[in-house]
Amino acid sequence: MTTVSTEVCILGAGPGGAATALFLAKEGIPCVIVDKAVFPRDKICGDALSGKVVEILNRYDRSLVERLSRDAIQLNCWGVTFVAPNLEELSIPFRNKPKDPEEARAMAPGFITRRIDFDAFMVDELKKHASIQLFEGVDMQTYTRTATGFTCTSADGSLEIKSRLVIDGSGAHSQFAKKIGGLEVEKEHHCAGLRWYYEGVTGIKEGNYIELHFLKDFLPGYFWIFPLPNGQCNVGVGMRSDYVSKKRINLKTELQEIITKYPQLAERFKNAKPVDSIKGYGLPLGSKKRKLSGDHYMLIGDAASLIDPFTGEGIGNAILSGYTAAQQAKTALESGDLSAAGLKGYDLAIYRRLGGELNLSYRMQKLVRFPWLFNFVVKKANRNKTLRDTIMVMFEDIDLRDRLRRPSFYFKLLFSGKN
């Protein structure tokens, strides 16, 4: 058995774990990061990277995002189209696109890139830092508390890592979050998702808009089409796990039926064909506040259940929580207090930054249960520029998201009479 001692051990080198290691390296703090997979590896996902990913990675190094935006592994994404249950569409640009193609490329508000490529891109960045020790192909299974932190041991017993601090980014099925953090899967705060890679889907909007379809026979779930590089698409469905269980829904059958059943989609899939099989994975939603840290540990990303309950977006919050955990680790290591009290600032910082938007998204998730209301908002937004602009800045402007939580704000916006 190999034994490694370190101040910080990170479990998982997905976007959350990788971002944590990079921000620690920026602060001059060495760490060990371990993943059970060998990169490049697939991760079932919609593959859409939001403006938040861009915003936080820019804090690490702007040139990383610039490199990504020029890499053939990604498509620049300029907006989102919502399709209401009555089939009315609402297209919202994330930002106004500059006319000059070079300028546009340099400032794309979001990206779509297969996770097999994006995660490997991030792991390649880890390898550039001498202070980051990366172990791939090591499945960490046992977590033993010690007087000074944790000893994490691999399933085959070949590696043990002794550290003062564990940062758990091992994803939706994290055993650390369950056994040490005490987090359980709660079906009403959890979503089931399926992904299907396709080629030949037509009707993709200029600017590579991602599409979220709220189909009348598939509520409160949603269907998506996200364009990918080389003309392929990521197609999928998501629905809260309690509805899936209660209504005994077979998501795989639903997904196969959706693309033939609705005429507007059937036309677009007429000459399209799948390029792999349907694959599924869980999405732990951030619709419930949880305890994210304790003595000598912090949970990040999906291990901390931080996925947006409306859009299913989790990469941005994984990277943001990685950044926040690295800042908290710095403070705690400097003060020497790695107790639950010394790390509590992490929970506070996460919910200060994300609490408002997770709450708002939870309300919007509930709105989807009322198709008439959804139809009304889409209709109104298509006729009211202020409302459209409001939704556009929602993707970037946090203060505005706060204002959106006030019922009076909606009231004024929706019933102002301005069309």
Q: Which of 40, 37, 35, 43 is nearest to 13 (CA)?
A: 35
Nearer to ligand FAD, 29 or 35 (CB): 35
Q: Report in angstroms how near the CB of residue 308 gets to ligand FAD at its nearest.
A: 8
CA dihedral 163, 167, 173, 177 (to 10 degrees): 80
What is the DSSP code (8-state) at residue 82? E
Tokens of 369: 């249960």
Nearer to ligand FAD, 167 or 413 (CB): 167
Q: Report in angstroms how near the CB of residue 211 gets to ligand FAD at its nearest.
A: 12
Q: Report in angstroms how near the CB of residue 11 gets to ligand FAD at its nearest.
A: 6
Nearer to ligand FAD, 169 or 342 (CB): 169
Side chain identity at residue 220, one-letter code:
P
Q: Which of 71, 69, 74, 62 is nearest to 108 (CA)?
A: 69
401, 357 Cβ separation under 8 angstroms? yes
Q: Which helix (H) or strand (E) holds 21?
A: helix 15-26
Comparing every residue's Cβ against ligand FAD, the nearest one is 314
Nearer to ligand FAD, 108 or 172 (CB): 172
Nearer to ligand FAD, 25 or 315 (CB): 315
Which residue shows structure tokens 């697939």?
42
Beta-bridged to residue 74, according to DSSP, are 113
List residues near ligand FAD by CB under 6 A.
11-17, 34-37, 43-48, 50, 139-140, 169-172, 193, 195, 236, 281, 283, 301-303, 307, 312-316, 318
How far from 108 is each of 16, 79, 88, 97, 319, CA to CA, in Å? Answer: 22, 10, 27, 8, 18
Q: Report in angstroms how near the CB of residue 414 gets to ligand FAD at its nearest.
A: 28
Beta-bridged to residue 279, according to DSSP, are 195
196, 276 Cβ separation under 8 angstroms? yes
Q: Report in angstroms how near the CB of residue 304 gets to ligand FAD at its nearest.
A: 8
Q: Report in angstroms how near the CB of residue 280 gets to ligand FAD at its nearest.
A: 7
Nearer to ligand FAD, 35 or 117 (CB): 35
